Amino acid sequence: MIKSYAKINLELKVISKRSDGYHNLYTKMCQITLYDNVRITSSDIDVLTCSGFDAPSGEDNIAYRALKLYKEKYNIMDCYEIHIEKNIPLGAGLGGGSSNAACVLRFLNDKYRFASRDELTELALYLGSDVPFFLYNICALLEGKGDVLTEIKFYEDKYILLVRPEGSISTKEVYTSLRKSDYINSKESNHLEVSAFRIDKSIADLKKEMYCECGNALMSGSGNVVFSFIDDYESAIKIKEKFDNYPWSYICRIRREDD
């Protein structure tokens, strides 16, 4: 099994809208100790299945597209069966799909060693702007549309409470709803929050509730999960119980190199 870690955005600033339709970003991301389990084995045909959260199978899954992309790029005839035990919720701003895709690319390149670091990063970027981050980094500063990465050192010796309201939210929908006034001169740590809150008020309500309990709260990525840092595990357990009315919550921490 390969551990496919989730991430949180410690900060997400929208700088400007690009001519290609993307946005220039400045965001600090860290992997956390919530992860999917990815099993990749030899097979007669290429197939991808999932258990746990209701993730798409086959060509609709970004991890399957990663497999096909690498095989087509380097004319690989071998076939693989991929099974993903999903623990990372979908449409939550935790990067689960991007992490799964990076796991597949890394597995294939560890086996065949056809791609240089830059070439593998290029393949990852083709799949999605978050995918390159998961190839090599535990914590990183991402700029541009997410394609300019600088590794950073960040360690917070605290626990993280993740809570998710009902439903999910589309990254595309959040960026489509984003207005220039949402980020120009904004003092918010995550410039996408205003847009996400317009789409789903329950995220804003959850953030207020978590801030009252923890003294800090931030939406991760384009949502809809909100997270808070908590000093110790016992306190995290007690606070988590207060959010049992929500459909999903989880206690984790920033991933370390030895995880």
The residues annotated with a catalytic role in the active site are 7, 130
Cross-strand pairs, 151: 140
Helix (H) or strand (E) holding 224: none
Task: Tell the residue number behind the tokens 């207005």, with chain if given.
Answer: 179
- 129 touches 147 (CB < 8 A): yes
Helix (H) or strand (E) holding 134: helix 131-136
Q: What is the dihedral of CA 146, 90, 98, 232, to 10 degrees?
A: 80
Distance CA 133, CA 31 (A): 9
Task: Tell the residue number behind the tokens 């798409």, with chain if given.
Answer: 56
Tokens of 97: 């799909």
Tell which phi-psi region holds residue 185, choosing left (phi > 0), alpha (psi between -120 and 50) or beta. Answer: left
Tokens of 167: 């439903």
